[in-house]
Each structure stands twice: as C-alpha cells, then as structure tokens.
C-alpha cells in the first residue's frame, strides 16, 4: 500500500512511520511511505496513494485546502487527519475525512482506524457455507448483506442475491465485519444500517420488507448509533 504522510514536522513523520511499520509487520502488509512537508509538494505528486495522513496546520498550504484540492480532482483517497487542534475536526469532515486522530497518536486509535480502513477498502470477507455433502467458501461484499440471523451454532446471512449459511456463531461472524455498517440489534440479529427504512421499539424494517428483532435494552443505543451513521452517510463519509 502506498501511504503519504504530509506534515511539516519531520519528527512526527518518522515517528508515525515507526508505528506503521509495527502495524504492517503484525498484519503481514507491505507499506511504502512518501513524506511531504506541505500540501503543495503532495499535490505535485503523481502517485496514486491508498492512504494519506494529513496535518492541519502547515506553512504553504494547510491540510483542509490540500484535501479539498484533491477532492476537486475526483481523488477519493482515504485521508486520516492528525492534528493537536481538536476544534478543526468538524472542518475536516467537509472534505470527506475517514478519521481524525489527535496528536500524539495513540496506538489503539491508529490501529482501529487502519483496521477499519483496510476492511472498507477490501469491503469483502469470506463466509464458510456448509451443507450435508461439502463445504464451500464464498466471497460476499459487506454492502450486499442486509442482515444476519443466528441459527443454533450457525448463522444465516441474508444478502441481496440469496441467503448464505455461515458455519459459526453470529458473534464470530460479527467480528469479520466493519463496525461502520453493522449493529447487533438483538442476540439473534445483526443488521446492516444501510438497508434500514424504518424501526420501532421492538423491530427493524429493511428496504426488502424483511424484519429483524430489536431488543428493548438495545433501543437507545441503536437510536444513537443509527443517527450517527445517517449523519456520516449524509456528508459522504460512508
């Protein structure tokens, strides 16, 4: 993966590369790094980056203006802002920022952002479908999953094309998914919020007309999570 680090502090760039190297070794990934001290240099590059780590305050061109210029070129590279200025987080959302991390960057926050980003870029996972005769592996796009339902020690996955059977528990299946799209509405149901058209205090209704249970103890958490999801989707972050 090609990773750009745009920051006017050399110490921060080198420190971030050290953190990213540790992550790449743990995950078995290949990262190539490109350092830029300001937005002007980055915009002059012809490299197609997978990830850009962007500072907010720089001398010649600040981070918001730099990313805005990238977006005007129809460049949809994932951008992670890293800044000590907490009050600029809302400005960063206007240019479709994937994450905003506070300096100094905590390992847990960095790893969570990278895990989520890589899942979103691949946007797929493997589900193991078993029947009485054979086992088979299928690749299903996360965005095509409407909801999943527990069935004893297996999981039924209702996708836009058909229903699959995952040969493990719903909890195990949930760990394979991006937290940006899915919510555990009930011990027996996991829902993709992209397909929700309506809900009540005890059920969720999807665009297909299908329904999932919503636990009473999960209702308030669901409302908040769904509201945050809709807000992010409305400004193009999903």
pLDDT tens readout for residues 49-99: 989 999 998 877 889 999 999 988 867 789 999 998 888 888 888 888 899
Would you state the pLDDT for residue 236? 46
Q: What b-and-e string marks burial along 50-76, b requiring 16 or more CB atoms within 10 Å of the CB?
A: bbbbbbbebeebbbbebbebbbeeeee
CA distance 126 to 139: 5
Q: Which of 72, 37, 70 is nearest to 51 (CA)?
A: 70
Task: Please write the tens of the pLDDT for every residue from 183-204.
Answer: 999 999 999 998 999 999 999 9
Same domain, 102 and 151: no
Would you state the pLDDT for residue 186? 97
Question: The dihedral of CA 189, 190, 194, 200: what is its sign?
Answer: positive
**Greater confidence, 137 or 222?**
222
Same domain, 137 and 194: yes
Question: The dihedral of CA 26, 139, 215, 204: what is its sign?
Answer: positive
Strands 32-36 and 2-6 come out as parallel
Same domain, 108 and 6: yes
Same domain, 128 and 223: yes
Would you state the pLDDT for residue 107? 95
CA distance 149 to 144: 15
Task: Please write the tens of the pLDDT for every residue from 124-174.
Answer: 555 556 554 445 677 787 878 999 999 988 999 999 888 988 888 999 899
Same domain, 196 and 207: yes
Using DSSP, state whether 20 is helix, strand or coil: helix
Would you state the pLDDT for residue 226? 93
Would you state the pLDDT for residue 214? 98
Same domain, 132 and 94: no
Same domain, 12 and 81: yes
139 by Cβ neighbours in 10 Å (0-12 / 13-18 / 19+) ranks as exposed
Same domain, 25 and 113: yes
Would you state the pLDDT for residue 28? 78
Q: Which domain covers residue 10, as residue numbers? A: 2-121
Domain boundary among 69, 102, 121: 121
**In the chain, how many domains are there?**
2
Same domain, 139 and 203: yes
Enumerate helices (H) and strands (E) in the chain, giving the number of each.
Answer: 7, 15
Q: Are 195 and 207 in contact (CB under 8 A)?
A: yes
- Give me the residues paired with residue 205 across strands: 198, 211
Task: Please write the tens of the pLDDT for every residue from 4-35.
Answer: 999 999 999 999 999 999 999 888 788 999 99
Same domain, 87 and 129: no
Edge-to-edge strand order for the sheet containing 32-36? Answer: 32-36, 2-6, 51-54, 78-83, 99-102
Domain boundary among 65, 88, 121: 121
Across residues 111-128, what is the average pLDDT?
Answer: 73
Same domain, 133 and 91: no
Q: Is the pLDDT of residue 176 over 90?
A: no
**What's the whole-number average pLDDT of the chain?**
87
Same domain, 107 and 21: yes
**Greater confidence, 215 or 59?**
215
């Amino acid at each position: 993966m090609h990773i750009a680090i745009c920051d006017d502090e050399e110490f921060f760039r080198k420190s971030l590369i050290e953190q990213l190297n540790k992550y790449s070794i743990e995950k078995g990934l290949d990262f190539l790094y490109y350092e830029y001290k300001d937005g002007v240099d980055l915009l002059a590059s012809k490299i197609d980056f997978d990830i850009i780590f962007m500072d907010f305050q720089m001398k010649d061109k600040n981070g918001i203006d730099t990313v805005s210029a990238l977006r005007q070129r129809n460049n949809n590279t994932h951008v992670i802002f890293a800044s000590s200025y907490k009050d600029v987080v809302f400005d960063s959302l206007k240019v479709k920022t994937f994450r905003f991390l506070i300096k100094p960057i905590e390992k847990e926050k960095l790893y969570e952002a990278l895990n989520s980003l890589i899942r979103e870029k691949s946007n797929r996972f493997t589900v193991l479908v078993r029947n009485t005769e054979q086992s088979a592996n299928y690749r299903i796009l996360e965005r095509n999953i409407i909801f999943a339902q527990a069935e004893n020690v297996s999981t039924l996955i209702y996708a836009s094309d058909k229903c699959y059977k995952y040969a493990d528990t719903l909890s195990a299946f949930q760990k394979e998914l991006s937290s940006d799209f899915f919510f555990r509405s009930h011990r027996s149901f996991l829902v993709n919020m992209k397909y929700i058209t309506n809900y009540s205090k005890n059920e969720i209704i999807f665009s297909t007309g299908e329904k999932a249970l919503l636990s009473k103890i999960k209702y308030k958490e669901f409302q908040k999570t769904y509201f945050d999801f809709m807000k992010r989707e409305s400004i193009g972050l999903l």
